[in-house]
Amino acid sequence: DYEYAAIQLYLLASLTRRHTLYNNVALNDKTII
């Protein structure tokens, strides 16, 4: 089902984007500390 695949891709992309943002924030906090 194309719609299901599109939803899965969107969720995966948003998850990885959020994870990357979180990692960047964590790295910035470490450098500040």
Per-residue pLDDT for the chain (33 aa), expressed as one digit of tens each?
789 999 898 888 887 877 777 777 777 676 654
Structure tokens at 12: 């995966």
CA 13 to CA 15: how far, in whole Å?
Answer: 5
pTM for the structure as a whole: 0.49
Tell me what pLDDT residue 22 has.
72
Number of other CB atoms surrounding residue 20 within 10 Å: 10
What's residue 20's pLDDT?
Answer: 77
**HEC secondary structure over 1-33:** CHHHHHHHHHHHHHHHHHHHHHHHHHHHHHHHC
Q: Quote the number of domains for the chain.
A: 1
* pLDDT, position 27: 72
1: domain range?
Answer: 1-33
